């Protein structure tokens, strides 16, 4: 046995004997030919995922106070919920907020339209879908994401609150993500308003009867969502939370936060 084997270091990795390979990373990079299916491998995906975070953080870092608006992609232009979305976008801008939506049609478009027409910052965080969707024409600052989870991070990181218009499973997913983050203290002082009392009250009643009734949530968790038909009240709740976090900023998290 050789007591003094050849050694080679690749970053933190130490290689000996048969593991030593003298081809450098540069050589491998510049020499690479052949099949290209490696672009569909997980390590390569990690780079794409990382780039979505880098692009998102870069584009939104200077956004200022913003509110996320969620709601159905299917709300028709002539429906009262569309008008509600437009009013919401407009009043949020008048209160000094940027408006962030999923950048799609329906309720998202309505909120973007209201925000853009009021001269505010109208943001769309779009998502690549199996069918052609694209950003609605009222998005003035848009980012198209490949990955839902990267996009969700942007909604949470750059928002001061959530307003939820009537919607389907996508809207419910976003609503409950927000509720979970607030309930677990992962984000602090984020108001969540549900617009449309008739539409949402069945869900809120079920949460009270079943979740609270069976001890799945605590009494105070019921207060995490405010239910109203009044757009201006929703905006006032967002303003109040902004004022509170300005006068009493949330404590900095520990070293991992």
Ligand X SMILES: C/C(=C\CNc1ncnc2c1ncn2[C@@H]1O[C@H](COP(=O)(O)O)[C@@H](O)[C@H]1O)CO
Q: Is 149 in the site for ligand X (CB under 6 A)?
A: no
Contacting ligand X (CB under 6 A), which of 5, 58, 80, 168?
A: 168
Q: Which residues in the chain belong to E strands, given as ranges?
A: 7-10, 13-16, 66-70, 98-101, 122-127, 141-145, 162-164, 192-195, 225-228
Give the total residue count for the chain: 257
Residue 85 interacts with ligand X (CB under 6 A)?
no
79 or 245: whose CB is closer to ligand X? 79
Nearer to ligand X (CB atom), residue 72 or residue 160: 72
Closer CB to ligand X, 130 or 215, in the complex: 130
126 or 161, CB closer to ligand X?
126
> Which one of residues 127, 175, 192, 238 is an interface residue with ligand X (CB under 6 A)?
127
Cα dihedral sign, 61-62-64-68: negative
Helix, strand or coil, per DSSP, at residue 101: strand
Stretch that binds ligand X, among 28-36, 58-66, 165-173, 217-225 (CB under 6 A): 165-173
Residues 6+ apart with CB under 8 A from 56: 125, 143, 145, 150, 151, 153, 154
Using rule CB under 6 A, residue 120 touches ligand X: no
DSSP state letter for 143: E
Work out whether 174 is an interface residue with ligand X (CB under 6 A).
yes
Candidate list 102, 120, 161, 191; residue touching ligand X; CB under 6 A: 102
- Counting Cα atoms < 13 Å in the Cβ hemisphere of 51 gives 9
- Which residues of this chain interact with ligand X, rule CB under 6 A? 70-74, 102-105, 108, 126-127, 129, 133, 167-171, 174
């Amino acid at each position: 046995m050789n007591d003094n084997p050849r050694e080679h270091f690749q970053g933190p990795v130490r290689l000996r004997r048969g593991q030593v390979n003298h081809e450098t990373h540069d050589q491998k990079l510049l020499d690479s030919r052949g099949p290209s299916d490696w672009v569909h491998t997980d390590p390569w995906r990690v780079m794409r995922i990382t780039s979505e975070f880098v692009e998102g953080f870069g584009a939104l870092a200077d956004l200022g106070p913003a509110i996320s608006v969620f709601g159905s992609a299917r709300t028709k232009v002539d429906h009262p919920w569309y008008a509600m979305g437009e009013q919401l976008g407009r009043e949020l801008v008048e209160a000094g907020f940027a408006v962030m939506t999923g950048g799609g049609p329906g309720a998202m478009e309505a909120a973007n339209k209201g925000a853009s027409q009021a001269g505010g910052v109208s943001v769309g965080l779009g998502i690549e879908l199996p069918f052609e969707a694209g950003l609605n024409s009222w998005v003035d600052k848009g980012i198209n994401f490949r990955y839902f989870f990267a996009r969700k991070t942007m909604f949470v990181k750059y928002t001061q609150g959530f307003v939820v218009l009537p919607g389907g499973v996508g809207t419910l997913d976003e609503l409950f993500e927000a509720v979970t983050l607030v309930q677990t203290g992962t984000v602090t002082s984020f108001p969540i308003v549900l617009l449309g009392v008739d539409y949402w009250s069945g869900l809120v009643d079920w949460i009270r009867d079943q979740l609270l009734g069976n001890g799945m949530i605590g009494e105070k968790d019921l207060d995490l969502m405010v239910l109203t038909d009044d757009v201006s009240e929703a905006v006032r709740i967002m303003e109040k939370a902004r004022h509170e976090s300005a006068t009493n900023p949330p404590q900095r998290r520990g070293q991992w936060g």
